[in-house]
Chain A
Amino acid sequence: MTSRLKTLGLFSAAALLLASGGAHAQALSAADAAVLAGPCANCHGTDGKSNGKIPPLAGRPAATLAAMMKAFKGETPPPGTTIMNRLSKGYTDEQIEALAKHFAEKK
């Protein structure tokens, strides 16, 4: 019984790794994405609903948000931006996709 459970456990762990494309890309749950998005609110507003000069994130298309985050990482970040070049480099493309989805769903 124990060994059967163990086998199943190992099997599902392997399946998870395969599904997420290997050890470097661990799947992010909605709860993980919400925590990942936590610090964004400090400038972009709670749930990405900005109350000032810093652009809002809430309800914008996921593809737009993800493309912007990836552009920030580049050697020539978009004009008028300051810290996002430094912050965006702290996130993998997979995390960026999860963040983009998280904020796109906030209405």
Chain B
Amino acid sequence: MSTNMISRRRTLQLLGGAGAGLASLSMPAIAQGAGAGRVVVVGGGFGGATAAKYIKRANPKIQVTLVEPLQRYYTCPFTNLHFGGLRTFEQQGHNFNELRALGVQVVHALANDVDNKKKTVTLAGGRVLQYDKLVLSPGIDIRWGALKGYDQAAAQFAPHAWQAGPQTALLKQQLDAMPDGGTFILVAPENPFRCPPGPYERVSMIGHYFKTQKPKSKILVLDAKENFSKQGLFLDGWKKVYGEMIEWVPLSKDGKVVRVDARAREVETEFGKKHKAAVLNVVPPQKAGFIADRAGVSAQSGWVPIKPETFESSQVADIHVIGDATAATPMPKSGFVANAQGKVAAAAIVAALAGRPAPKASWANTCYSLIAPDYGISVANVYNIADGKLNEIKGSGGVSPREATPEFRKLEADYGVAWYNAIANDAWGTKA
């Protein structure tokens, strides 16, 4: 891009900013005509990319700015298949070309601060963006130190790999370097956390890697919970495909890890038992991305309470929060849900800027997990609002049948990949 172009854009933004203070006092959208207004979206993942796209598609006159530090965004979903040797890391990467082509201004910077009274977002480097409506889709931050011994330095020895990127590469590298016969330990957290079936799919895929490359190796899951997502299906699948390779230790069997020594790759449980790993993967306690704190939308829990109808923050007006950062029980923190919430928020914002009430909200979720290349399982749900709260519609949804044919498991494995390709196309325009 030419500097000319940039400076022209800057001037336009400055002009917009100058007028904004006045306009936002009264009726910002209507003042600019045709239900337009300025929307800033923070975060280019499943939620943010979808929200930006669906706002722009619904009303191209709305000025939409997407703020995302990465030029190429990598999803955490499907990186487990990378550990299984079934996909390259690059296959989880997505660019923002489709959003740009739609007319979304994509700014590759970190959003550092939000002033919810002046309605501004400050980027690293000092640039200030004015908004009429703000969408935060910041994903998760790790609660460093919440698990004793697990801080940022520790993650360089015992990766979490719960945000795709260098952490994914580090865990892959450690698995590749591990000698046959080693023990892989995964430390699983209490609820709520990003991607409830994720830890269990991860050990399945690492099981596949071990079975085919390092068959004398073992897998131990130390869990702070008594139950987990799709539990029966995972336990059945592990036994069937991996025999005795994968051992899961629940809370009641002293599965809760209370201390991590990342350099020694050793963990200690509640009752003082020490386990040593050849490769140690800690899925640590989490919270909403830090920008939620800066915007004043997060609660004591670390997550963001929202109004179900619109996913607007229940604490601050004109800030909508979507995805893993939200406290949206009974919805899981999944990419599918982030996308679905993004569409509900987008529709509500487009309607509000045009002075109309929000359309009736509805959401669904489907999470596929892979136990082996030809062995997929799923959980699906439909949600509405009942008595003012998010509600899982009774009689709908559920997990794959416990008894199913190998053909059914194979179909679900195939549909899982088809889902990923479809949602990546829906959110980022990625062509498989």
Contacts and interface: CB of A to CB of B under 8 A. Distances in A.
Nearest to A39: B364
Interface stretch (B159-167, B249-257, B414-422): B414-422
Interface stretch (A12-20, A60-68, A82-90): A82-90
B150 interface: no
A11 interface: no
Contacts of A82: 378, 400, 408, 411-412, 415
B380 A86 contact: yes
B344 A38 contact: yes
Nearest to A46: B426
Contacts of A43: 366, 415, 418-419, 422-423
Nearest to A95: B362
Interface string B328-367: 0000000010011001100100010000000111111110
Contact of A90 (B360, B397, B400): B397
A45 B339 CA distance: 13
B313 interface: no
A82 B432 CA distance: 22
Interface residues of A, number: 31
A41 B380 CA distance: 15
Contacts of A35: 343-344, 347, 359-362
A83 to B, nearest CB: 5
Interface string B174-186: 0000000000000
Contacts of A41: 422, 426
B369 interface: no
B422 to A, nearest CB: 5
Given A38-B344, A42-B423, A52-B422, A31 B359 contact: yes
A71 interface: no
Contacts of B395: 89
Contacts of A7: none
A39 B363 contact: yes
Contact of B426 (A45, A80, A86, A91): A45
A41 B422 CA distance: 7
Given A52-B418, A90-B393, A80 B347 contact: no
B352 to A, nearest CB: 12
A54 B415 contact: yes
Given A42-B422, A89-B382, A90-B383, 11 more contacts: A38-B54, A39-B365, A44-B422, A45-B426, A46-B425, A82-B415, A83-B400, A86-B396, A87-B364, A88-B396, A90-B382
25 contacts: A29-B359, A35-B347, A35-B359, A38-B344, A39-B340, A39-B365, A40-B364, A41-B422, A42-B366, A43-B415, A51-B421, A51-B431, A52-B417, A52-B418, A82-B378, A82-B412, A83-B366, A87-B364, A87-B380, A87-B382, A87-B396, A89-B396, A90-B364, A90-B383, A90-B397
Interface of A: 26, 28-29, 31-32, 34-36, 38-46, 50-54, 80, 82-83, 86-91
